[in-house]
């Protein structure tokens, strides 16, 4: 295990334990997906660890199977997670907070938009409020199992689906989060050796299955590169503390490997 990610391993184990039998219905995404790849799914000789995060994006389907007499929210409350209400929507956007290993960890629940009405309306699932997010079905159906060093089993968004989803959604994000998303695309596609190579191969298969989304992905990445200012490149490079992310490397690896025309 990477010594600088020991805390994250404990956080993931604690979260999976807290969710109990509901953990089988949760797919972990966001920045913690990169951490899970590095911790459990790649050769541990790979040196470059991803940037840390305190947020765990938890993806759940709109309908959960009945696996416990206690709903997901009850399991989290019994594990001493505190609910934080973030707006005045009905139902209100919420997250679950707890200090783990000395750090405040925030859990947010997300779901897909595969409904005819109220696609953008929050929905209560298993007692927790989930925020709908477009294209999320990609991540829910393309999940990879993993096991923590404590033996807790979970599921994480597969790297190909993770890259695809970030490329589709990052233009809607605020400026700073765009840099984080693009850093994540670069990291997942280039920094995990054979794992990254296979992720890119599988990504092209996803492109073939979703050609219209593939065009959107290509357009989003291309437009950002075309319009990026020198300051944008500085901020993007600053996302990687190892100093490996440089403009030329990003253009060569991400633009050439991910933004191609053979799948269109």
Q: pLDDT tens digits, the chain, 264 residues: what are they?
A: 666 788 999 999 999 999 999 999 999 999 999 999 999 999 888 888 999 888 999 999 999 998 898 999 999 999 999 999 998 888 999 999 999 989 899 999 999 998 878 888 999 999 999 999 999 999 999 999 999 999 999 999 999 999 999 999 999 999 999 999 999 999 999 999 999 999 999 999 999 999 999 999 999 999 999 999 999 999 999 999 999 999 999 998 877 665 554 444
Torsion of CA 30, 9, 190, 199, to 10 degrees: -70
* Tokens matching residue 248: 């030329």
| 81 contacts 18 by C-beta, under 8 angstroms | yes
- Report how far residue 220's alpha carbon sits from residue 261's, in angstroms, rounded to the nearest whole number: 14
Query: What does pTM read for this prediction?
Result: 0.93
- Kindly report, residue by residue over 155-183, the tens digit of the pLDDT: 999 999 999 999 999 999 999 999 999 99
**Residue 164's closest CA among 127, 209, 130, 104?**
209
SS (H, E, C) the chain: CCHHHHHHHHHHHHHHHHHHHHHHHCEEEHHHHHHHHHHHHCCCCCCCCCCCCCEEEEECCCCCCCCCCCCHHHHHHHCCCEEEECCCCCCCCEEEEEEECCEEEEEEEEECCCCCCCCCCCEEECCEEEEECCCHHHHHHCEEEEECCCCCEEEEECHHHHHHHHHHHHHHCCHHHHHHHHHHHHHHHHCCCHHHHHHHHHHHHHHHHCHHHHHHHHHHHHHHHHHCCHHHHHHHHHCCCCCCCCHHHHHHHHHHHHCCCCCC
56 near 108, Cβ under 8 Å? yes
The pLDDT, as a whole number, for residue 1 is 64
pLDDT in tens, 17-35: 999 999 999 999 999 999 9
- Distance, C-alpha 179 to centroid of its chain: 14
Question: pLDDT at position 264, please?
Answer: 43
């Amino acid at each position: 295990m990477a010594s600088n990610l020991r805390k994250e391993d404990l956080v993931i184990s604690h979260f999976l334990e807290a969710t109990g039998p509901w953990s089988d219905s949760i797919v972990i995404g966001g920045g913690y997906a990169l951490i899970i790849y590095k911790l459990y799914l790649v050769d541990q000789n790979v040196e470059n660890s991803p940037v840390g995060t305190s947020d765990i994006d938890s993806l759940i389907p709109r309908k959960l199977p009945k696996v416990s007499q206690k709903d997901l929210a009850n399991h989290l409350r019994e594990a001493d997670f505190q609910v934080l209400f973030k707006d005045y929507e009905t139902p209100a956007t919420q997250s679950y907070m707890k200090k783990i290993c000395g750090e405040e960890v925030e859990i947010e629940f997300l779901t897909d938009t595969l409904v005819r009405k109220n696609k953008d309306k929050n929905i209560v699932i298993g007692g927790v409020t989930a925020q709908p997010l477009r294209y999320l079905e990609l991540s829910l159906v393309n999940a990879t199992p993993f096991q923590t060093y404590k033996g807790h089993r979970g599921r994480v968004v597969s790297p190909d689906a993770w890259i695809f989803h970030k490329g589709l959604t990052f233009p809607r994000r605020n400026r700073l989060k765009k840099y984080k998303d693009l850093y994540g695309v670069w990291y997942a596609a280039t920094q995990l050796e054979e794992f990254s190579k296979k992720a890119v191969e599988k990504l092209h298969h996803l492109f073939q299955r979703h050609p219209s989304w593939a065009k959107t992905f290509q357009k989003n990445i291309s437009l950002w590169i075309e319009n990026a200012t020198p300051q944008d490149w500085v901020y993007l490079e600053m996302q990687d503390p190892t100093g490996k992310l440089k403009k030329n490397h990003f253009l060569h690896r991400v633009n050439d490997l991910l933004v191609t025309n053979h799948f269109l």
